[in-house]
Amino acid sequence: MADVKVNGKPAVKRRRSAFRIGEGLSRRAYVGIAGTVFAAFVLLWWASTASGLIKPIFLPGPDAVWVKMVALAADGTLWVDAGASLYRMMVGFLLASAMAIPVGVLIGCFRPWEAAIEPFVDFVRYMPVVAFVPLTILWAGTSDIQKFVIIWIGTFFQQVLMVMDNVKRVPPDFVGLGRTLGLSEFKILTRIVLPSSLPGIWDTLRISLGWAWTWLVLAELVAATSGLGYRITVSQRYFQTQTIIGYILFLGILGLITDQSMKALERVLFRYAARR
Amino acid sequence: MAAPKLSITGLEKWFPSKSGPVQVLADINVELADNEFVSLVGASGCGKSTLLSIVAGLQDFDDGVVLIDGAPITGPGLDRGVVFQSYTLLPWLTAIENVEFALKAAGKSAGECRDIAREHIELVKLTRFADAYPAQLSGGMKQRVAIARALSYRPKMLLMDEPFGALDALTRHQMQELLTRIWEEHRLTVLFVTHDVEEAVYLSDRILAMSLHPGRISASFHVGLARPRTQDVISTADFIALQKDVLKAIRAGSQQAEELEA
Ligand SMILES: Nc1ncnc2c1ncn2[C@@H]1O[C@H](COP(=O)(O)OP(=O)(O)OP(=O)(O)O)[C@@H](O)[C@H]1O
Ligand SMILES: [Mg+2]
């Protein structure tokens, strides 16, 4: 930046405030701030329990939760529970995504398909997923299939509408370009519309992955014989608040890891979108 | 006289609106000779882009005849290269890959694609940025790649919609010279939309001025300035006089519309 001279004297170089809209932030500062928030959260938790403000039966301290979780990890319980849940979540989520992407692309491209599907999906989307839990138990018992169905109901309909939006955001001139190059409708779809909407679709998947976790745990809380949600219900029966809190935090960490790794992958997959 | 490259007769175009159909183009009659460079000028909203995209085959029209080489157009095609008003480089492809994309669509073999694309990237002086992604290019660079792409498969007609509209004056002048050079080398027929009268006079053999509501061709100007032209021509008396005439025609066209509305 060139120095601006005022009355012959170089003006003071001002450092731009980090609180200007759209201003950047260094990676170190970002991680530092995020880390501080986590540390503050743990500290507050520790202070409110260690001081006796909150009874351990309602909220055990971080130390107690940590000891319990280490024990559960050591005897394998945690990993068996996590494995069962991860498997169900992945199957349900992949099933929903594999169906939502083609349908979303279809209704994003072709108005008659949109007319056929969009209003109906909108209608189903507002039905409470929770209300389907008893129904799905009636249909599929407490098996894994019932978990897949709940995750599917909870994510598919949302995904379809979001993918449709992603596709609609493809600039119309991109499609015009394909036409002037004499490409068939199918080739315009596969070579222009799909790659163009892929970053948006990836974002949709990342966001809906969080919902898939939520619906899975809900399903496991109500009726299951294994999994993270199941363990939480069982622990409640025996007043093992440490396990409940520990598992809730563990779910949060799992979510954080999956979300951050999808973001990292996004930066690799769609490297072209970055300026320099 | 040779048959015209493009011939438009009695073209009409309506758009639906809340208060019934609105006429955007009325009784358009235009002929472009082979190798002719024709600019279309007029106030914003007069229908320039609409007319261009009809010629490109991207939009339907309601009445009239549009012939290319004497044959009615049936849709878009590789015989007409289009440079859009907005940036249309595909962001997931590098500059050179964007050109190759068009060549592949035109049915060239992979080897040919590479060579021709490289040649055209050189033509628009972007060799250093051949492997850069669009996000890393400036606006002017993006439009240069778009021009390279539109030229690469050798369309006989080039349709350009305010390709330099978003550029600063300096870059705009560089691009105009580049375009003139390319046009002189490749002997293309060009239909060029702009609302910059100076640009139109500098580039064209003929200028068509459009009036507003509905869009009609209200005046046609023959540009007699000798070629090859350089930027110096802009300050000559002939140039300035013609520029004034064209501006007057555009003003008259939009004033008439205002009076009608009042
Ligand atoms: N798809 C559409 N539906 C309805 N009206 C349209 C549509 N496209 C264009 N119009 C109308 O047609 C008229 C001409 O539009 P057009 O884009 O051709 O103008 P233009 O001369 O290119 O303007 P500009 O110089 O601002 O680009 C405008 O009044 C516009 O509102
Ligand atoms: Mg326009």
Write out pLDDT tens, residues A126-184. 999 889 999 999 998 888 999 999 999 999 999 999 999 999 999 999 999 999 999 99
- Is B48 in the same domain as B115? no
Q: What CATH number is attached to the domain comprising B13?
A: 3.40.50.300
Residue A33 lies in domain: 5-46
Output the pLDDT for position A1.
45
- Is B150 in the same domain as B165? no
From the alpha carbon of B16, which atom of ligand 1 is closest? 4
d(CA B233, CA B243): 12
Backbone angles phi, psi at A117, to 5 degrees: -110, -40
Task: Judge contact between A269 and A202, C-beta under 8 A.
Answer: yes
Mutate to test the interface with A, among B78, B84, B100, B129 (most CBs of A within 10 A): B84
| Residues found in chain B | 262
Q: How many CA atoms are closer than 13 Å to the CA of A96, on its beta-carbon side? A: 31
Task: Tell me, yes or no, if A193 comes closer than 8 A to chain B by beta carbon.
Answer: no
Backbone angles phi, psi at B22, to 5 degrees: -115, 130
Tokens of A216: 């899975």
Q: Is residue A52 part of a domain?
A: no
Task: Judge contact between B127 and B64, C-beta under 8 A.
Answer: no
What pTM, to 2 d.p., does this model score?
A: 0.83
The pLDDT of B130-140, averaged and rounded, is 90
**pLDDT over threshold 80, residue B253:** no
**pLDDT over threshold 80, residue B196:** yes
Find the largest Cα–Cα distance for chain B: 61
Tokens of B112: 């040919």
Q: Is residue A241 part of a domain?
A: yes
Task: Judge contact between A219 and A147, C-beta under 8 A.
Answer: yes
Write the residue in B77, B80, B135 that is nearest to A274 by C-beta.
B135
Q: Is residue A76 part of a domain?
A: yes
Residues linked to residue B83 through DSSP beta bridges, in sequence order:
B160
d(CA A217, CA A214): 5
- Is B92 in the same domain as B179? no
Write the residue in A179, A183, A191 that is nearest to B58 by C-beta.
A179
Write out pLDDT tens, residues A96-120. 999 999 999 999 999 999 999 999 9
- Is B68 in the same domain as B184? yes
d(CA A177, CA B89): 9
Q: Is B27 left (phi over 0), alpha (psi -120 to 50) or beta?
A: left
The pLDDT of A41-47, averaged and rounded, is 93
B94: which chain A residues are within 8 Å (Cβ-Cβ)?
Answer: 272
Q: Is residue A51 part of a domain?
A: no
**pLDDT over threshold 60, residue A2:** no
- Is B106 in the same domain as B39? no
Backbone angles phi, psi at A128, to 5 degrees: -70, 120
CA of B20 to the centre of ligand 1 (A): 16
End-of-domain residue from the set B104, B124, B154: B154
- Is B210 in the same domain as B259? yes
Output the pLDDT for position A276.
46
- Is B251 in the same domain as B175? yes
Q: Chain centroid to CA B163: how far? A: 7
> Between A and B, how many CB-CB pairs are < 8 A?
69
d(CA A177, CA B57): 11
Q: How much is the CA Rg of chain A, to the nearest whole Å? A: 25
Residue A19 is which amino acid?
A: F
The pLDDT of B226-252, averaged and rounded, is 82
Virtual torsion, Cα A252, A258, A259, A260, nearest 10 deg = 110
A174: which chain B residues are within 8 Å (Cβ-Cβ)?
Answer: 88, 90
Number of domains in chain B: 2
In the block, tokens 């015009």 appear at A176
Residue B2's pLDDT band, with cuts at 50, 70 and 90, is low
Nearest-ligand number for the alpha carbon of B50 = 1
- Is B90 in the same domain as B183? no
Count of H helices and E strands in chain A?
A: 11, 2
Task: Judge contact between B88 and B56, C-beta under 8 A.
Answer: no
Residue B148 lies in domain: 86-154
Number of domains in chain A: 2
Write the residue in B57, B86, B91 that is nearest to A273 by C-beta.
B91
End-of-domain residue from the set B120, B154, B188: B154
